Amino acid sequence: MLGRRDPTKYGTLTMADINKQMQTIAVELDCELEFFQSNHEGAIIDFFQLESSRAADGVIINPGALVRYGYCLRQALVDLGKPAIEVHMSDIHKTGINKTVNILEDIRIDQIVGLKEQSYYEALKKLVNYVRAN
């Protein structure tokens, strides 16, 4: 839906566009990325349980509405045991019906919201800095 969904909140880039820019930033930061996108909580959990995910140094995740009720997703991130940064292209503090619950609040290292595609780019820089400092 990215690139077609409300551009005032989400910008005009597609996920492929964002991933391409993320890869460019990763080269500059001398790190490797593996991309995965799904609208299904179970598929995301299955991805976290792969060996390639277990070998990763960290996670950048846009949980969308799962941030309000995705307790299985939360447990998968806990089990993965990697630093995670939560991103949202829109400002989730101003939208949605349940603004007070965030199931990742106590397990993520940071949250970046409301910067459209820049949310991802900032998350990558912060995650790399965090991993290298710890």
> Which pLDDT tens digit goes with each residue over 50-60?
999 999 999 99
User: For residue 26, what pLDDT is reported?
Assistant: 98
pLDDT for the residue numbered 10: 78
User: Which backbone phi and psi does 126 adopt, to 5 degrees?
Assistant: -65, -40
Q: For 25-49, what is each residue's pLDDT tens digit?
A: 999 999 999 999 999 999 999 999 9
d(CA 91, CA 113): 5
pLDDT of 73 above 70: yes
- Is 71 a known active-site residue? no
Q: Catalytic residue, from 10, 69, 71, 121: name it.
A: 10
| pLDDT tens, position by position, 88-128 | 998 988 876 667 889 999 999 999 999 999 999 999 999 99
The one catalytic residue in 88, 93, 120, 130 is: 88
Q: All domains of the chain, ordered by start, with CATH?
A: 7-133 (3.40.50.9100)
Phi–psi pair at 34, nearest 5 degrees? -130, 125
Strand partners, 113: 88
Angle of helix 118-133 relative to helix 15-29, nearest 10 degrees, comes to 30
- Any catalytic annotation for residue 93? no
- And the tokens for 103? 């199931």
